[in-house]
Amino acid sequence: MATGFSDGLVYTALQRAGYAALTVVVRLNAARRALTALSACAAASLASAVPSLRTLLAVTIALPPIDHIGSRPRPPSVLGVAISEQIDDSNCAAAAEALGMLLSWAHGHSFGLVLLHEAAGSLQQPHHMRQLELQLLQRRLTGAVQLQAGWQVHEGAGAASEASTDAQLKAVLLSAAEGQWPLLAVARHTRTGTPRAEAADAAAAEGVVATDGATDGCGGTAAAIDAAIQAPARLRRRLQAVAGTLAGAEPDFVLVTGPALTLGGFPAWCVRASEIYGVGPLAELDADKLQAAMARFCTTKQRFGK
């Protein structure tokens, strides 16, 4: 009986010693992880302050990627503008001046594409486009910014449009029609799709058929999940087939002018994952408001859809 009692004491002592050792290991591991995170943050801050040291710090300490989405989002390249005010002959000059300033700002911040949407299509009228072209001329952006009415360049645009294909910024003037007819064309199957898009759609359809009988264990089919995941890309290819490559562009953020609570007919498929910011009346638009929207986008550490 004494032997059993001593064995119990030994077992209890070993159990307590093991628990103490495990506690020490866990705390040491937590301290190591905290020290690693602290050193990485300090190294990242030092690398931001002194870029020349980044290579050396990357060798000694595992730095996050320079374009890490959680700390330094990629710079935006596509801008959307939803104009809710009605543009007519009485305010055309003021609207053209504001849009000229906006395009100059976008060009200065290395945007490659600007989608300007005005539901009535007033910006697409020749005399309004001339007002905007005059603003670009005054800002010395005639060769750097290309204006385009609608998704596709019309055949009557002439050599001037062909000569400006090397423009650094393209501004597409959209109306409510550009948010409707591509969807109708796709729905009626009237497009003349490219072979690559048709082959991709056919491959996607074959994949869905091949997995039609599989289940995901939650009552739904794997085919339905795959089709839902592939649906945005498939719709984008079909829209590009009927409306051109630019129809597949997705603005990084959309500026809404005027007292509007909606996007006023802005092509819905383009803003699936876009940030949307209100900037007030178009006539009061200035560089400070644009810069504030840019800063808000660049300081958003987490966004969904992209």
* Domain assignment of residue 71, yes or no: no
Q: Confidence class of residue 60 from pLDDT cuts 50, 70 and 90?
A: low
The residues pairing with 173 across neighbouring beta strands, listed in sequence order, are 116, 149
Please report, for the domain that includes residue 206, its CATH number: 3.40.1180.10
Read off the pTM.
0.66
* Domain assignment of residue 305, yes or no: no
Q: For residue 164, give the amino acid letter.
A: S
Mean pLDDT across the stretch 39-48?
Answer: 71
From residue 202, give the alpha-carbon distance in Å to each of 108, 206, 224. 42, 6, 16
For residue 46, what are the contacts with CB-CB under 8 A and spacing of at least 6?
53, 57
Mean pLDDT across the stretch 52-75?
Answer: 59
pLDDT value, residue 209: 47
Q: Is 47 in the same domain as 85?
A: no
pLDDT tens, residue by residue, 138-183: 999 988 999 999 997 444 444 344 444 567 899 999 999 999 999 9
Residue 109 has pLDDT above 70, yes or no: yes
Q: Is 32 in the same domain as 147?
A: no
Q: Confidence class of residue 33 from pLDDT cuts 50, 70 and 90?
A: confident
pLDDT value, residue 262: 81
| Domain count across the chain | 2
pLDDT value, residue 45: 72
pLDDT value, residue 164: 46
pLDDT value, residue 35: 81
Mean pLDDT across the stretch 250-264?
Answer: 89
Q: Which domain holds residue 21?
A: 2-60
* Domain assignment of residue 10, yes or no: yes
Residue 28 has pLDDT above 80, yes or no: yes
Mean pLDDT across the stretch 228-234?
Answer: 85
pLDDT value, residue 32: 84
Query: Rounded mean pLDDT of the chain?
Result: 79
Q: Is 39 in the same domain as 173?
A: no
If you average pLDDT over each of 37-46, 196-205, 290-299, which comes out highest? 290-299
What is the rounded distance in angstroms from the CA atom of residue 116 to the CA atom of residue 129?
12
* Domain assignment of residue 306, yes or no: no
Dihedral (CA of 225, 247, 165, 101) sign: negative
pLDDT value, residue 73: 61
Closest C-alpha among 242, 260, 266 to residue 80: 266
Residue 130 has pLDDT above 90, yes or no: yes
Residue 82 has pLDDT above 60, yes or no: yes
More confident residue, 302 or 246: 246
pLDDT tens, residue by residue, 261-306: 788 889 999 998 899 999 999 999 999 999 999 999 988 776 655 5
* Domain assignment of residue 190, yes or no: yes
What is the rounded distance in angstroms from the CA atom of residue 91 to the CA atom of residue 257?
14
Closest C-alpha among 102, 142, 104 to residue 255: 102
Q: Is 15 in the same domain as 141?
A: no
